[in-house]
């Protein structure tokens, strides 16, 4: 297997090639998603990993496989769960909705949470922090299609609005505004609720600037 500057997984060239595959539909930004994960979690080794929206396991294959001690992978699509189980029998893959999941494994504390379901994310992430076993430092990676929803329907995710009936969000092109005014404040509230500090954070936008991919490191 080739080496890249992010580790011993596939090289950038191989990832670019994967990104161009016609069947690569729900992960068209594979390269940048993998890069974000490898950068924020470069120092992590042998972690318990929680995947919400594990899909066919692209993020597991390219970003987490070498770091994972135990992986719980949830998806609501049975075909994807079956395929993930087939390719990665060591992953604890379940057909389940991450926003209501309760069957947490005993004796495992998650150190990485990868929330890649798009759609309504924030209630499920709150649920995870309130109910799941996790430990610090905790690394979060999120694929947030809120800007796409704004572009299509003119609203931002309900939970980010914090009770305001209207949010003066400048528009889908202005992802800085989305992150600064809605997303980071939401994480500051979550961090404060659980006695955590946001140690570092990073984000990227996809080509059309309709999805924000971001990551945080949280510590006590």
Ligand X SMILES: C[S@@+](CC[C@H](N)C(=O)[O-])C[C@H]1O[C@@H](n2cnc3c(N)ncnc32)[C@H](O)[C@@H]1O
How far apart are alpha carbons 59 and 1 in whole angstroms? 17
Neighbours of 20 (CB within 10 A): 11
- 76 is an interface residue for ligand X by CB under 6 A: yes
Q: Give the residue with the Cβ less far from ligand X, 23 or 165.
A: 23
Q: What binding mask, one character per residue, do residues 96-135 give for ligand X by CB under 6 A, x or -? A: -xxx----------------xxxx----------------
Residue from 48, 58, 206, 210 binding ligand X (CB under 6 A): 58
How far apart are alpha carbons 91 and 65 in whole angstroms? 9
- 56 is an interface residue for ligand X by CB under 6 A: yes
- 26 is an interface residue for ligand X by CB under 6 A: yes
Strands (E), 82-211: 92-95, 110-115, 134-144, 197-205
Q: Give the residue with the Cβ less far from ligand X, 98 or 196.
A: 98
- 75 is an interface residue for ligand X by CB under 6 A: yes
How far lies 211's CA from each of 121, 149, 192, in Å?
13, 9, 26
- 52 is an interface residue for ligand X by CB under 6 A: yes
The separation between the first and the last C-alpha atoms of the chain, rounded to the nearest angstrom, is 37
CB 110 within 8 A of CB 132: yes
Q: Give the residue with the Cβ less far from ligand X, 58 or 71.
A: 58
- 27 is an interface residue for ligand X by CB under 6 A: yes
Question: What is the bridge-based pairing of β-strands 197-205 and 212-219?
Answer: antiparallel
Sheet holding 212-219, edge to edge: 92-95, 68-75, 47-52, 110-115, 134-144, 212-219, 197-205
Residue from 29, 49, 54, 93 binding ligand X (CB under 6 A): 54
Q: Give the residue with the Cβ less far from ligand X, 99 or 210.
A: 99
- 74 is an interface residue for ligand X by CB under 6 A: yes
- 53 is an interface residue for ligand X by CB under 6 A: yes
Question: Which residues make up the interface to ligand X (CB under 6 A)?
Answer: 26-27, 52-59, 74-77, 80, 97-99, 116-119
């Amino acid at each position: 297997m080739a080496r890249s500057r992010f580790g011993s997984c596939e090289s950038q060239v191989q990832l670019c090639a994967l990104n161009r595959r016609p069947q690569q539909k729900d992960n068209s930004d594979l390269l940048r998603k993998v890069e974000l994960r490898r950068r924020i979690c470069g120092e992590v080794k042998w972690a318990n990993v929680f995947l919400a929206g594990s899909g066919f396991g692209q993020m597991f294959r390219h970003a987490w496989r070498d770091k994972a001690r135990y992986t719980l992978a949830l998806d609501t699509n049975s075909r994807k769960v079956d395929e993930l189980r087939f390719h990665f029998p060591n992953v604890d893959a379940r057909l389940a909705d991450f926003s209501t999941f309760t069957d947490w494994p005993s004796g495992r504390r998650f150190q990485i949470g990868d929330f890649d379901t798009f759609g309504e994310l924030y209630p499920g992430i709150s649920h995870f922090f309130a109910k799941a076993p996790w430990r610090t430092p905790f690394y979060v990676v999120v694929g947030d299609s809120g800007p796409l929803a704004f572009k299509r329907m003119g609203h931002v995710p309900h939970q980010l609005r914090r009770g305001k009936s209207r949010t003066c969000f400048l528009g889908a092109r202005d992802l800085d505004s989305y992150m600064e005014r809605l997303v980071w404040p939401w994480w500051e509230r979550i961090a404060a609720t659980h006695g955590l500090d946001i140690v570092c954070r990073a984000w990227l936008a996809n080509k059309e600037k309709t999805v924000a991919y971001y990551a945080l490191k949280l510590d006590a």
